[in-house]
Chains A and B, each alone.
Chain A
Amino acid sequence: MSIQNLRAIAAIYKFELHRFRRTLLTGLLVPVITTSLYFVVFGGAIGSRMNEIDGIPYAAFIVPGLIMMSMFTESIFNASFGIYMPKFTGTIYELLSAPVSAAETIIAYVGAAATKSLIVGGIIFLTAHLFVDIQVMHPLAMVAFMILIAVSFCLFGFILGIWAQSFEQLQVIPLLLIMPMTFLGGAFYSVHMLAEPWRTITLFNPIVYLISGFRWTFFGKGDVGIEFSLIFVAGMLALCLGIIGWMFRSGYRLKK
C-alpha cells in the first residue's frame, strides 16, 4: 500500500465524476422513475392487499430493499465501466505509465463510483418519502451501511471491469447473477414468509444478509441478526480487496 500521489487520485476522481455529469439527467431520473414505479405497483396496487410484515406496512418494508437493489447495480455498472472503458479505448496506457500505485488507482476509481451510487441511494431514499412514511431507527448506521455497500460493490465492479474483455461480459454478472440474487434475496419479502426448504436454501444467498442488515438500520430488525450482516459485508470487502491486490501484483489483464 503506497499512497503518495494525492493529485493523481484527485485527477481521476474528478475525471470520473465529470463522466457521470455528462449523463446526469438519465443517471438521476432513472432511479427516481423506477422507484416511483415500484411504489405504484408494489406499494399501491399490490401492497394495499398485503399484510404488514413484522409489524411494518408493506410499502415501507420494501424501501431498504429498493435502495439496496439500485445501489448494487449502480455500483457494479459505474465501477466496472470506469476501468473497462480505458481498456476498451486504449487510454489505459496513460494510467499504467503514470507514477500511480494500485492503492491510489483503486481509491480514485472506486471512490468516484461509490460517490455516484451513494447519490443514487440518497435520491431513492428521498423519493420513497413521497410515497410512504418511513422512520429510520438508526440513521447513522444506515449511512454507514450504505457507504460500506457502495464501496464493496464498487470494488466488485472494478474487478469485473478488469476481468471483462467484452461489453457482454461486463453486463452478464450484474444482470444474470446479482439481479436474480437480489430479487430472491428478500428485497420485496421477508425470508420468514417462505416455506421450507426454500427458507434454508435462501440463507445461502449472501444478498439476503446485506438487505437484512440494511433493513435492520431502518426498523431495528431484519431476517437475520445484524452481526451476520456485518460479517458478510466485511467478508465481501476482504475478498474483493484480496482479488484486486492479486490482480495488480500479477498485472492480470492490465499489463502484458
Chain B
Amino acid sequence: MASIIDISGLTKRYASGFEALKGVDLSIEEGEIFALLGPNGAGKTTMISIICGIARPTGGTVQVAGHDIGRDYRGARSAIGLVPQELSTDQFERVIDTVTFSRGLFGKPRNDAYVEKILRDLSLWDKRHAKILELSGGMKRRVMIAKALSHEPRVLFLDEPTAGVDVELRRDMWKLIGELRQTGVTIILTTHYIEEAEEMADRVGVINRGELMLVEEKTALMKKLGKKTLTIVLVDPIAALPPELSDWDLSLHAEGQEIEYVFDAQAERTGVSSLLRRLGDLGLGYKDLNTRQSSLEDIFVSLVHQEKAA
C-alpha cells in the first residue's frame, strides 16, 4: 500500500526548552486506521499539530499526500481534516453555516448536496438550523467532525475523539469511524483509552516522552507481546505459596483461594503442565482453571513501565 503521510526525523523543542518530539519517523498508509497511543504529555497532540500546520517543527520533514507541509502547505493541508481535542466552535453560528464556512475556507466550491450528505451521515441534518450553543457536547463533537470532512479530505485526524464522552456516545463514535473508513478516508486517532485502539485500529503506534517506541499491526502486537494469565481456583485456600512453587512466577489472590500464573503464550515451554503436576504432588486440589490473553492495555502499561525503569 502507498503511504499518505511520511514523517521523518521530526523534532519539536518548545521555547521553554521542553523537547516534545525527539526525532519521530513514521509512515501512515492510505486507507488505514492508525491509533497513536501514549500517556498525557507524550507528544501525541504536538505531532498532530505540526502535521496540520498549527505548530512549527524544530527539525525533520513531513509529507502529506506527497506535499511537504512547509514548502507546499496548501497541498498538504487541503488533504487533511482535523478534529482537535478541545470542543472549539463558533457558538452563535448555525450548524449548516459553520460547515459551509469550513468548506469555503479550504478553497472548495460550494456543494450543498455534499454538505447535506455529511450532515445526514452524522445525524446532524435535523439540527442544521440550530445554533451550535444549543447542542449537547456529543453533537458539538459531531459538528467538528462535519467541519473536518466538509472539504473531502483524504486524511482525518481525530485527537482524543472520545475524551470526556459517555460510554454510549463512545460506541456511536466508533461506529462512525468504522463507517468513515469505508469511504476510503485514512484515519489517525490519538487516544489514551487503549480499549479504543484495540476496538478500531489496524496499526498501533506507542509514543512516550516524545519518542515512538513501537509501531506494529494491532493483532501482531498483541500476539507478540501478549502474555497469558492462568488462574487456578483452589479447593481450599492457602495462607502462602509453598516454596516448592518458587520456579514459577506466581501470585496469590482472593484471600488465598486463587493462584495466578503469568506466562508467555508464544514460548516453547509454557510451564503450565509442570505447574499443574507440581500442584498435584503437593496435594493442592483445584476446582477451576481459566486463561486470559492480556489486552493492549497491559502491553502498553508494561512498555511505559519498562521505559520508566530504563
**Interface of A with B (CB < 8 Å)?**
4-5, 7-8, 10-12, 14-15, 18-19, 22, 89-91, 93-101, 251, 255-256
Starting from the known contacts A15-B93, A89-B91, A91-B88, 4 additional A-B residue pairs (CB-CB under 8 Å) come to A10-B104, A91-B90, A97-B82, A251-B56
| A-chain residues with CB within 8 Å of residue B97 when the two chains form the complex | 18
B55 to chain A, nearest CB (A): 4
B297 to chain A, nearest CB (A): 30
Question: How does the 8 Å CB contact mask read for B78-94 relative to A, with 1 for contact and 0 for none?
Answer: 10101010101111110
Contact of B88 among A10, A18, A93 (CB under 8 A): A93
Judge whether B108 and A7 touch: CB under 8 Å: yes
| A-chain residues with CB within 8 Å of residue B104 when the two chains form the complex | 7-8, 10-11, 14
Judge whether B14 and A94 touch: CB under 8 Å: no
B174 to chain A, nearest CB (A): 24
A48 to chain B, nearest CB (A): 46
Judge whether B101 and A256 touch: CB under 8 Å: no
Judge whether B56 and A7 touch: CB under 8 Å: no
Question: How does the 8 Å CB contact mask read for B55-85 relative to A, with 1 for contact and 0 for none?
Answer: 1100000000000000001110110101010
Judge whether B54 and A98 touch: CB under 8 Å: no
Q: Does B102 contact A (CB under 8 A)?
A: yes
Q: Does B105 contact A (CB under 8 A)?
A: yes
**Interface of B with A (CB < 8 Å)?**
14, 49, 52-56, 73-75, 77-78, 80, 82, 84, 86, 88-93, 97, 100-109, 147
Contact of A256 among B56, B75, B84, B100 (CB under 8 A): B56
A65 to B119, CA, bound (A): 50
Instruction: Look across to chain B and name the residue whose beta carbon is closest to the beta carbon of A100.
Output: B105
Known A-B contacts A8-B105, A11-B104; A96 and B54 likewise in contact (beta carbons under 8 Å): yes
A93 to B45, CA, bound (A): 12
Judge whether A90 and B101 touch: CB under 8 Å: no
A98 to B108, CA, bound (A): 11
A248 to chain B, nearest CB (A): 12
A161 to B222, CA, bound (A): 50
Most buried by B among A15, A18, A19, A93: A93
Judge whether B105 and A256 touch: CB under 8 Å: no
Judge whether B54 and A256 touch: CB under 8 Å: yes
Contact of B89 among A22, A91, A96 (CB under 8 A): A91
A98 to B97, CA, bound (A): 17
| B-chain residues with CB within 8 Å of residue A90 when the two chains form the complex | 84, 86, 88
A98 to B81, CA, bound (A): 9
| B-chain residues with CB within 8 Å of residue A8 when the two chains form the complex | 104-107
| B-chain residues with CB within 8 Å of residue A91 when the two chains form the complex | 88-90
| B-chain residues with CB within 8 Å of residue A22 when the two chains form the complex | 92
A11 to B104, CA, bound (A): 5
Judge whether A93 and B105 touch: CB under 8 Å: no
A14 to B100, CA, bound (A): 11
Judge whether B88 and A99 touch: CB under 8 Å: no
| A-chain residues with CB within 8 Å of residue B102 when the two chains form the complex | 94
| A-chain residues with CB within 8 Å of residue B89 when the two chains form the complex | 89, 91
| B-chain residues with CB within 8 Å of residue A95 when the two chains form the complex | 105
26 contacts between A and B (CB under 8 A): A5-B74, A8-B105, A11-B100, A11-B103, A11-B104, A12-B105, A14-B104, A15-B90, A15-B93, A19-B92, A89-B89, A90-B84, A90-B86, A93-B52, A93-B54, A94-B105, A96-B52, A96-B54, A97-B52, A97-B80, A98-B77, A98-B105, A99-B75, A99-B106, A101-B74, A256-B55
